[in-house]
Structure 1
């Protein structure tokens, strides 16, 4: 029997990117293939699934983990899909679980809810396996860290994503270099200069500091020289006190 480890399921407001403010069901999956220095999410697989008992209540029950696929589909339908814009598949990195997602997503799409994929944009082959059932892709462009860069795989991923609605999110901090931002900008331009691009100031963590206001304005101007849709949007759910 196919099972999927799940970190948590809850209903909340999308706090990042161009869909900020819409109501979503969040299906958070564990594990990640990257270790971003500013990550604020525990990615290890928990022994139990944490699930909100009623949408928006903030009250959670704990249950068995990993979850059989059939049971997970039923659990998600506890929430009223008509009140939610979409189901956010988030993580961790959800594309580490493509076999399980291939078993779940067709059923959920049949129930009439859109699928919103949040991904670090480094697993293009895995993306292809679930692309038919995805509606919106929130793709991170990860600037280099710890001697790692992802430009080529990001470009491949982004080109594949053009079959769907897609936007790009770039987390920036005080020490972000203009050279790195130029690489990111040129990558987006090469794929499609009309792509919505979000500069997301990091929420200060691990001695990584939020950019100064003048930096954000300068970087946005820099991107707008070659791109048409560039916005600065912080993690709004953090200061709203939302999950």
Structure 2
């Protein structure tokens, strides 16, 4: 029987991208294959994971890691699927657990709950293994940092995502180089200029500051020269006080 380590399970309001305001069940999984400088999420596999005792209560209990997939499905079903738009599978990087997700996702879909995948967009082959079971893909484009760039895998990932509803998020800060933005824009345009693209101002952390309003307007104009649908959306759950 397959087991899956979990970081936390809770019910909240989606705070990023075009589904801002939608009620979702969040299944956060550990581990990540990259280390973004602005990341504030726990990615280690912990001995215990947090389970919200009642949807939206913000009261948590701790349970042992890892958990069997049968038990995980049972825990997810304690959340009322009828009031939730989808199951947001997030991380870390969820596609590091693709073998387990291949088993879990069909069981979730049988319960008529949509699968919303939040991913860093760097594992295109793993995506293909679960693609038929996913409804919505929230794909990050990670701009270069610390001598690392991801253009080739991002392009492959985005092309693989086209059979599904997919949108792209790009986190930007006050020091984001314009050449990186141009490269990201051209990558998306080369795949499909109609793909919804979100410029997401970074939430201030570790001395990394958000762009000013003029920068955001300038960058949105830059993207709109080649793309059809470009929005600026911050992390709204932060100022709403949501998880």
| TM-score bin (small chain) | over 0.9
Query: Could you say which residue in structure 1 is the equivalent of 2:78?
Result: 78
Aligned pairs for 1:163-242 (under 5 A) are 163-242=163-242
Quick one: distance in 1 between partners of 2:82 and 2:61? Answer: 23
Matched, 1:147 2:147: yes
User: SS in structure 1 opposite 2:187?
Assistant: helix
Quick one: distance in 2 between partners of 1:39 and 1:64? Answer: 25
Quick one: distance in 2 between partners of 1:226 and 1:124? Answer: 24
User: SS in structure 1 opposite 2:12?
Assistant: strand
Aligned length: 243
TM-superposition CA deviations, 1:83-123 (whole Å, max 9, x none): 00000000000000000111100000000000000000000
Give 1:40 deviation, angstroms. Answer: 1.3
Quick one: distance in 1 between partners of 2:177 and 2:122? Answer: 21
Give 1:143 deviation, angstroms. Answer: 0.2
Query: Could you say which residue in structure 2 is the equivalent of 1:13?
Result: 13
Quick one: distance in 1 between partners of 2:101 and 2:80? Answer: 21
**Unaligned ranges ≥5, structure 2:** none
Query: Could you say which residue in structure 2 is the equivalent of 1:108?
Result: 108
Quick one: distance in 2 between partners of 1:153 and 1:84? Answer: 32
Give 1:75 deviation, angstroms. Answer: 0.4
Give 1:49 deviation, angstroms. Answer: 1.4
Quick one: distance in 1 between partners of 2:38 and 2:62? Answer: 28
Query: Could you say which residue in structure 1 is the equivalent of 2:127?
Result: 127
User: SS in structure 2 opposite 1:128?
Assistant: helix
Per the normalisation by structure 2, the TM-score is 0.99
User: SS in structure 1 opposite 2:118?
Assistant: strand
Aligned pairs for 1:56-95 (under 5 A) are 56-95=56-95
Give 1:45 deviation, angstroms. Answer: 1.1
Q: Structure 1 residue runs of 4+, over 2 Å off?
A: none
User: SS in structure 2 opposite 1:145?
Assistant: coil
Per the normalisation by structure 1, the TM-score is 0.99
Quick one: distance in 2 between partners of 1:187 and 1:78? Answer: 41
Matched, 1:46 2:51: no
Quick one: distance in 2 between partners of 1:164 and 1:74? Answer: 27
Give 1:34 deviation, angstroms. Answer: 0.4
Aligned CA-pair RMSD: 0.5
**Unaligned ranges ≥5, structure 1:** none
